[in-house]
């Protein structure tokens, strides 16, 4: 449970807000969690070596690096709006000897990913921070190849939690209900494929859900 909480804190603060960079201990915990979660996420996204996937709101970059090794001859795009995080990811990929990672500075209303670049895209604990979700979701839809998959991993707001500044009130607090994710991304032209209520599967205390879409 402590590992999950530390991992969530790194991802939330590193993804779409200006924040202190994670400590070496936090990075190690994030990497350990990424090693556990990558095979599960790759299965849901139907990833195969040689494909292209984007980690939107990549934070400390552990998932990017693990996927970079897993995808082999494929490519991983890592985006974030936090410039120090982008530097961290570049340095991380270099230390790991990866040449198949492309780091992109995102924007509040756009991923800034190239059109039709990705077989799959995922956002981990990021969507509930997005303010201009209509424009942002259009950029997600545009970046997917036909038939491409999008996974949104997030958590349901706890009762009485504070709504992040600037996000729509329909989130209901810090987090986002799966129904809101489905409605907003469906409006962008993506098809809802399925919802996994407890993510990651096999976790003793899953705190998150995953919503899968297809273009």
Determine whether 76 is exposed, middle or buried from the number of CB atoms within 10 Å of its CB (0-12, 13-18, 19+). Answer: buried
The domain at 2-214 falls in which architecture?
A: 3-Layer(aba) Sandwich (3.40)
Would you state the pLDDT for residue 109? 97
**Interhelix angle for 24-44 vs 2-15, to 10°?**
90
Residue 26 banded pLDDT, cuts 50, 70, 90:
confident
Residues in CB range of 18: below 8 A, 6 or more apart: 82
DSSP 21-87: PPPHHHHHHHHHHHHHHHHHHHHHTT--TT-EEEEET-TTSHHHHHHHHHHTTSEEEEEES-HHHHH
Residues 174-213: b if buried by 16+ CB within 10 A, e if exposed? bbbbbebbbebbeebebeeeeebeebbeeeeebbbbbbbb
Q: Rounded to the nearest 5°, which phi and psi values hold at 13?
A: -75, -30
Is this model's pTM higher than 0.85 or not?
A: yes
Query: What would the pLDDT profile of 81-102 be if each residue is shown by its tens digit?
Result: 999 999 999 999 999 999 999 9
Query: What would the pLDDT profile of 156-177 be if each residue is shown by its tens digit?
Result: 999 999 999 999 999 999 999 9
Q: Report the share of the chain in percent with pLDDT over 70.
A: 90
Residue 22 banded pLDDT, cuts 50, 70, 90:
low
The three-class DSSP label of residue 182 is: helix
Would you state the pLDDT for residue 20? 54
Domain regions of the chain by residue span: 2-214
Distance of CA 142 to the CA centre of its chain: 17
Between CA 174 and CA 124, with CA 80 as vertex, the angle to 5 degrees is 45
């Amino acid at each position: 449970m402590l590992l999950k909480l530390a991992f969530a804190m790194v991802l939330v603060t590193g993804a779409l807000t200006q924040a202190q960079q994670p400590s070496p201990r936090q990075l190690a915990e994030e990497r350990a969690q990424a090693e556990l979660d990558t095979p599960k996420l790759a299965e849901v996204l139907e990833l195969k070596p040689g494909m292209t996937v984007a980690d939107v709101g990549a934070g400390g970059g552990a998932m990017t690096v693990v996927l970079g090794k897993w995808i082999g001859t494929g490519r991983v795009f890592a985006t974030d709006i936090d410039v120090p995080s982008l530097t961290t990811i570049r340095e991380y990929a270099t230390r790991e000897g990866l040449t198949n990672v492309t780091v992109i500075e995102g924007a509040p209303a756009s991923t800034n990913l190239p059109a039709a670049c990705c077989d799959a895209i995922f956002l981990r604990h990021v969507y509930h921070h997005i303010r201009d979700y209509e424009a942002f979701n259009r950029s997600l839809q545009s970046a997917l190849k036909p038939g491409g998959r999008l996974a949104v991993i997030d958590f349901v707001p706890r009762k009485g939690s504070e709504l992040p500044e600037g996000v729509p009130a329909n989130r209901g607090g810090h987090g986002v209900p799966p129904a809101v994710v489905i409605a907003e991304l469906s409006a962008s032209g993506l098809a809802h494929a399925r919802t996994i209520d407890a993510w990651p599967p096999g976790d003793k205390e899953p705190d998150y859900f995953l919503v899968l879409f297809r273009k």
